Structure 1
Amino acid sequence: MSELTNFIRTIARNPRFINLMYTSWHAVPKDIKKRMWEYINSKFLILVKEKKWVMTGLHDAWRRHKQNTKERFFDKNSTVEDMLAKPPDDIPEVQFRQLIEYWKHLTVQAIYEGNYKNRKQQQWRHRMGPINFARVRVALGVAKENEEPLESEMFIATRTKTGKDIQADTKVAIDELQNRQNFGETTDDAFRVVFGKEQPGRLRCYGRSVTTSSLKEDEETNKLKQKHANEISSLKEEMNEMREEMLYCFSQLLQINPGLNVQDIPGVVGSNLVSPVDASSAQAVRCQNIPHLSGSTHDPVLQKVYVQSRSASGDWIFEADEHAQLKDK
């Protein structure tokens, strides 16, 4: 996941795929987005349902790259000539001049100031930087022996950083969460009281592009995968039991018929063991009423005779013939 995330950021910063001349991600042409998606998908095996996550990553990385470029190379108090004297290496001078003129526009500056104030008013901002919440969730799950982390644990993990002071509003929220849990409230109830109801279209502590419906789909997919794994395990156990039973039957045959040549019964043990599909169309070998292949010429009449025959796959199997009876030689 980390390698894919880094690759997405690299593509979003690569001017051969996309430049910074677009006013927003919505203004980026669809053919450019499609080209980036196809190129990433050619390097990594990505499910179609994960396309939204990839495009969100491209969007965030491109916007962050544009913001970092502005912070490093643009100064609203400097002249255009002064800023052009030290341009970015990956942006042609013509494009950089257009960006400067766009950023210096009074309307654009007013929009920027408004967005800056809104970001300052946001509560409980996470401290993970470019690290996505999915990686944090997996790391917490591994630490808890694959147990799903609680929302309160995710909140604390994504809002605190080693060596950094906790933001005031975040510290208040964490203290209230812990106090409510200490007084007997469940973790879920305490979390809902402190942070209120979920906003439509998103889930707290899951990161962007994760919704209630997508989370439910993932849970159903995981259940199907687990069911499939259980079925495979059950088939393997059944095949092992068949192998052991057939080996036991052969050992009994050899005891009763010491002169029996095992090569006369090919393809029953080992790599040619009948598959579950073949076994379902023929009765399993039962070590009851095993006929003597040598010895007395007057064998008693048996209720069942095991007949050697080939299955549909070409393997040799034994089938019980209820109607056949041994006669005196």
Structure 2
Amino acid sequence: MDYMDSETQEPDDLPYLETEYDMPPPLAAECKSFKWKIEVIDTAGKIEGKMITSKEVWKIQNSKVIVHFDEVSGQPIGESGGLLGSWLGQLSNDVNLLPINYSNWRMVNPHIKTKVWEVIQSKFWFDDPPTRKVFVMSALGSRCKDVKLRLWKEYKRDSLSETLLNRSENVSENQWSHFVHMRFTEKWKKMQERNTESQKKNIMPHVCGRKSFSRKRNDITIKTGKRPCRAEFFIETRTKPNGSFVCEEAKTRAEKLTLLGQKSHVTNNDIASLNDEYAQVFGPERPGRVRCVGRGPTPSKLVNHSPVTRQEIENLEMVIDLKSQGTELSDQVKVMTTFIQQVIGTSTGEQVIIYFITSSFAVAFANIPNPAFANVPSPPNPNQVNYN
């Protein structure tokens, strides 16, 4: 589906978005009564501890919830991080502020995102707003995607016309019409088929539940006094309370990770490194992402928290790119081997291919250092506050 110009133009009804935002949106699920142990800061800069539910955040006056972040990964941690995530889930149901008729979160009207960020900042306090905004808005985009998926599952019918008529009373007719027409296109259907196939490959689910990886990792760090590496974190999050693994494949991978960990003499406190045990078992990373870490961190971001040079960062990204091309190169070699064998004979073909592989890899990997993530310092502990 093509992006529409209207997605990036200022909406005519933007002035009507002004509201107090003092209660959850009608579409939001009933808020649970769970109380989060957090800190709030008032307009005078006074900080105090409180026990508060996500619903009570909407009623906050003249103060904001302080959100703590992991300084290495840049992810929200602790109960304040959990409260933020829960509240964002409620906010994402406000279809007046966050319409559902957009094709891609990145293309959502910037005026809408600006207004949304103002609403978020009216409830939560961030130590570095411009930096934290990147993560928070990305997380909100994911929550909005969940809302659209839930509405589609609940109100979709067999045909376009039937679905158009089966509209939630909380969604405007114009929004619903645009949303439904986009979802009935062939391009969207093909995308869903690809996503379904990709989801089938997720055969080793974690046991974190609704808790984010960053919060789970922080819990482990507090409990053990050591930040878990990816191998340790994978084993921890694929092990059930009774000690068994979520599946046989997870057990096999965990055994390999444990064996590699016993052989390793590295005792640093890094979350991840280029050739750590996790990468050896699961394969190299794709450019721009780090698995088993959670939303946000990339190879460069993690390295930027370490005392390494720009050249080492560039070398790291270069090696990741080269490794990601390994499968493609292997396929090309197989095709070339078959072709040469057919043309000039098996023995000669093997000699040529050996020469090709040797020379190609020699050129590709010559003079490339072996970069690794340097030690990453542990984040400072939050200020101790009495909760009475």
TM-score using structure 1 length: 0.58
Match of 1:28 in 2: 108
SS at match of 2:286: coil
What do residues 154-188 of structure 1 show as CA deviations (whole Å, max 9, x unaligned)?
Answer: 11233445589724533331232234446x34587
Q: Letter of the 1:57 partner, please give it.
A: A
Q: 1:215 aligns with which of 277, 302, 306?
A: 302
Q: Report how far residue 135 of structure 1 moved.
A: 0.3
Distance 2:233 2:125 in 1: 28
Q: Letter of the 1:207 partner, please give it.
A: G
The change in CA–CA distance for 1:225 and 1:92 in structure 2 (over 3 A counts) is: closer
The change in CA–CA distance for 1:167 and 1:63 in structure 2 (over 3 A counts) is: farther
As a proportion of its length, which structure holds more helix? Answer: 1
Answer whether contact 1:202 1:208 (CA < 8 A) is retained: no
What do residues 86-139 of structure 1 show as CA deviations (whole Å, max 9, x unaligned)?
Answer: 433431234323323322223321221122212323564545454321101111
Please list every run of 5 or more consecutive structure 2 residues that lacks an aligned counterpart in the other structure.
1-80, 267-274, 308-375, 384-388
Q: Report how far residue 14 of structure 1 moved.
A: 1.1
* Bigger Cα Rg: 1
Match of 1:150 in 2: 229
Answer whether contact 1:11 1:36 (CA < 8 A) is retained: no
Larger CA deviation: 131-140 vs 162-171: 162-171
Answer whether contact 1:9 1:57 (CA < 8 A) is retained: no
The change in CA–CA distance for 1:204 and 1:120 in structure 2 (over 3 A counts) is: same
Match of 1:14 in 2: 94
SS at match of 1:147: coil
SS at match of 1:13: coil
The residue correspondences of 1:288-299 to structure 2 (distance < 5 A) are none
Distance 1:93 1:225 in 2: 48
Distance 1:224 1:180 in 2: 24
1:98 maps to 2:178: yes
Q: Report how far residue 206 of structure 1 moved.
A: 1.8
Q: Report how far residue 218 of structure 1 moved.
A: 5.0
The change in CA–CA distance for 1:224 and 1:133 in structure 2 (over 3 A counts) is: closer
1:116 maps to 2:196: yes
Answer whether contact 2:160 2:184 (CA < 8 A) is retained: no
Percent of counterpart pairs with the same letter? 24
Aligned pairs, how many?
Answer: 222
Distance 1:225 1:149 in 2: 13
Q: Letter of the 2:147 partner, please give it.
A: H
The change in CA–CA distance for 1:40 and 1:152 in structure 2 (over 3 A counts) is: same
The change in CA–CA distance for 1:95 and 1:209 in structure 2 (over 3 A counts) is: same
Match of 1:191 in 2: 278
Q: 1:170 aligns with which of 237, 250, 268?
A: 250
Please list every run of 5 or more consecutive structure 1 residues that lacks an aligned counterpart in the other structure.
230-329
1:60 maps to 2:142: yes
Distance 2:178 2:184 in 1: 10
Q: Report how far residue 17 of structure 1 moved.
A: 1.6
TM-score using structure 2 length: 0.50
Q: Report how far residue 18 of structure 1 moved.
A: 0.9
Larger CA deviation: 16-25 vs 34-43: 34-43
